[in-house]
Structure 1
């Protein structure tokens, strides 16, 4: 790939990497797994980047690739995320140290969300990112009505989990 494309990708990934960190937080339980999943999602984003047509925002496309990668890996292993090696020269991404202190008050909520199935987790994640139902439905490949109905059901499930 050409250097300009590589530069664009690295710039977009660096400016949107918190999206990937949040997805990693939903699908992992420790720092090592978080870092492995972050690496795997970055690799999948890089592989798919030449096919990114710009028909949606980069962040929307990134959500979709990140969630699909996390769900696929989670389903394959259920306990441990396997990663693939990458050429360290290819990726020159400045990885910010992920600081979850801002999210401490959400720890209980994340714990409840982790008990949901994969699609419900993804829907809640996008909802918490203030995505509208049109964008959620486009990202997950479901109808807007279905996204609204699922979200109402998920809210009830979360209430039950948090207030037994």
Structure 2
């Protein structure tokens, strides 16, 4: 495939939206290597879809990016759960690999990610969009549901997280 046939601004778009894509990866993968693999898979799917992307009035580029990134993340998660792990880390290595980020809010952040990790794949998508500060209208567009459905689901997810956060 001829690389020069791709729109020249794909790399610019990717650089500008990289943080969004990495947040999706962080939410769906705990392991740094898995996050990097997922990021690369999302970029590959974006690369393939980009020539067909047509900006529409009133629809943000981030809506299109989220749809692809979340679909790839959920598909990837389902594939990973079907494959049995071949190697197990010993307890000490596992503790190091799962160490929370440093900082004053590290414990709260780790507990929040643990609680979010217990949610369903779809609920994680809602949480990600909510934490990104996306309005319900945009969330509805990204997820393909009505705004009222978004409100109801967000209320239920918030209740689940409150219960899970207390247990973490």
- Once the two structures are superposed, residues 138-163 of structure 1 have per-residue CA deviations (whole angstroms, 9 ceiling, x without a partner) of 10011110100000000000000011
Partner SS, residue 7 of structure 1: coil
Structure 1 residue ranges (4+ consecutive) displaced by more than 4 angstroms after TM superposition: 100-103
* C-alpha distance in 2 between matches for 1:101 and 1:135: 32
Match among 136, 140, 143 for residue 137 of structure 1: 140
The 1:79–1:2 alpha-carbon spacing in structure 2 relative to 1, beyond 3 Å, is closer
* C-alpha distance in 1 between matches for 2:11 and 2:110: 30
TM-score (norm 2): 0.79
| Corresponding position of 1:146 | 149
Can you give the 5+ residue segments of structure 1 that lack an aligned partner in the other structure?
Answer: 81-99
TM-score (norm 1): 0.81
Who wins on radius of gyration, i.e. which is larger? 2
Give the count of matched residue pairs.
Answer: 145
Deviation (angstroms), 1:77:
2.1
* C-alpha distance in 1 between matches for 2:102 and 2:145: 34
* C-alpha distance in 2 between matches for 1:62 and 1:74: 18
